[in-house]
Amino acid sequence: KDMEKGTYPHYMIKEIDEQPAVIRRLLQNYTGKDGKLATDTAIAEALNAADRLYIVACGTSYHAGLVGKHLLEKIAGIPTEVHISSEFSYNMPLLSKKPLFIFISQSGETADSRAVLVKVKKLGYPTLTMTNVEGSTLYREADYKMLLYAGPEIAVASTKAYTAMIAVFSVMAATLATAKGLTLGFDPVHEMSLAALAMEQMIDEKAQLQEIARDYLSITRNAFYIGRGLDYYVCMEAALKLKEVSYIQAEGFAGGELKHGTIALIEDGTPVLAFATQEAVNDHIRGNVQEVAARGAHTCVISMKDVTDRPGDSIILPKVHEYFTPLVCAVPLQLIAYYAALQNECDVDKPRNLAKSVTVE
Ligand code: G6P
């Protein structure tokens, strides 16, 4: 087992480090002879035939689905909903005329997600599974399949599968846009390669994330992540990762929503970490940071070079296309959680009460 970890002390850090390579391999596997990103023709046709996409998933995969919705709607112009499997199963929303169901599951074995798959298949709707495990239950039972090519993920807290899922959604969105005759206005392979490079740079500079964990999270029981738009979805995953591995109570909030209640929790020294990578909402998220700072919060801003960065920001990410910021943000959010877990002397690869794949509803 130690052999597989090589020189790494934990699987989690090994899997964080593997992400740029995973994205590059995935891009290769989804690039056609013409050098363009593409899914199988049958998948492109199924996507194009749908009037609405329903993404169904749990945990980190659900958070990847939220980013996926943004990409599918913005890039391919298809209405997309994202649902938590265990909710969808027993509280099905009204469906469109021609839905396509997309199941996202690292393991391909999650019982909550399978329960939905079984139900919608019975209703006769088309299904697609995005998974890391070829031959898994959700892989076998869906009409269409897309693999993550992330390699085995051993640490219970999901890292490389999350970024691989976002990358596969990008492939899906680009393929659908092409099938619909839309012009993308950017080269997704080029932009995602730049994102992989930026991820690599963040990994090389991991010492600064260790400092953030030390400065912000070493003597706290709670922490907040805030962001807007894509950054909000990133914050949800950041909070989950921190909770899972360090046991610090954390929540991810839409920046503007804080003042509608949660700001009551801000005390002197409460850590509030903001992701600010989206130019269109930069002024607004900065305003939210000031609101909490004025109430004593210990604020940390993670921004993007030449797009949203301002003097005093704690971490400045390399510049990437606005759609692909979640790929880059994933690295600091995972590393902050990892180092916070080490500080708290937690079993980072096997957090208490959690299982890698949950096969009961
Ligand atoms: C478990 C894991 C999570 C994971 C979730 C969904 O709760 O601990 O890390 O995100 O299941 O798993 P899946 O394999 O369906 O992506």
Instruction: Report the SS3 class of residue 109.
Output: coil
CA distance 203 to 231: 19
Closest atom of ligand 1 relative to the 107 alpha carbon: 14
- Select from 11, 132, 357 the residue to mutate for testing ligand 1; criterion: most ligand atoms less than 8 Å from CB: 357
Q: What pLDDT, in 10s, does the model give residues 225-243? A: 999 999 999 999 999 999 9
The pLDDT score that the predictor gives to residue 1 is 46
CA distance 45 to 252: 36
Residues 131 and 138: beta-carbon distance below 8 Å: yes
Whether 2 shows a pLDDT value over 70: the answer reads: no
- The alpha carbon of 306 and the centre of ligand 1 are apart by a number of angstroms equal to 35
Whether 259 shows a pLDDT value over 80: the answer reads: yes
Point out the residues that are catalytic.
Answer: 356
Side-chain half-sphere exposure of 41, counting CA atoms within 13 A: 0
* Helical axes 325-343 vs 206-217, angle rounded to 10°: 60
Provide mean pLDDT across the span 127-142: 98
Whether 42 shows a pLDDT value over 50: the answer reads: yes
The CB of 238 under 6 Å from ligand 1? The reply is: no
- Which residue shows structure tokens 């593409």? 38
CA distance 157 to 240: 9
Provide mean pLDDT across the span 71-91: 97
Q: What pLDDT, in 10s, does the model give residues 271-316? A: 999 999 999 999 999 999 999 999 999 999 999 999 999 999 999 9
Residue with CA closest to ligand 1 atom 8: 356
The CB of 156 under 6 Å from ligand 1? The reply is: yes
- Select from 55, 110, 133, 352 the residue to mutate for testing ligand 1; criterion: most ligand atoms less than 8 Å from CB: 110
ipTM (interface pTM): 0.97
Closest atom of ligand 1 relative to the 58 alpha carbon: 6
Residues 76 and 49: beta-carbon distance below 8 Å: no
The pLDDT score that the predictor gives to residue 5 is 87
Region of residue 353 (left: phi > 0; alpha: psi -120 to 50; beta: else) = left
Query: What's the mean pLDDT when you consider all of the chain?
Result: 96
Give the distance, in angstroms, between the CA of residue 168 and the centroid of all CA atoms in the same chain: 11
* Rounded percentage of the chain residues whose pLDDT exceeds 90: 91
Size of the chain in residues: 361
Is the pTM of the predicted complex or chain greater than 0.90?
yes
Residue with CA closest to ligand 1 atom 15: 105
Cβ neighbors of 205 (< 8 A, separation 6 or more) are none
CA distance 139 to 307: 40
Provide mean pLDDT across the span 19-44: 93
- The alpha carbon of 188 and the centre of ligand 1 are apart by a number of angstroms equal to 28
The pLDDT score that the predictor gives to residue 4 is 79
The CB of 354 under 6 Å from ligand 1? The reply is: yes
Whether 104 shows a pLDDT value over 90: the answer reads: yes
Region of residue 306 (left: phi > 0; alpha: psi -120 to 50; beta: else) = left
Cβ neighbors of 358 (< 8 A, separation 6 or more) are 58, 110, 111, 112
CA distance 89 to 175: 29
Whether 6 shows a pLDDT value over 90: the answer reads: no
pLDDT grade, residue 245 (50/70/90)? very high
CA distance 172 to 71: 9
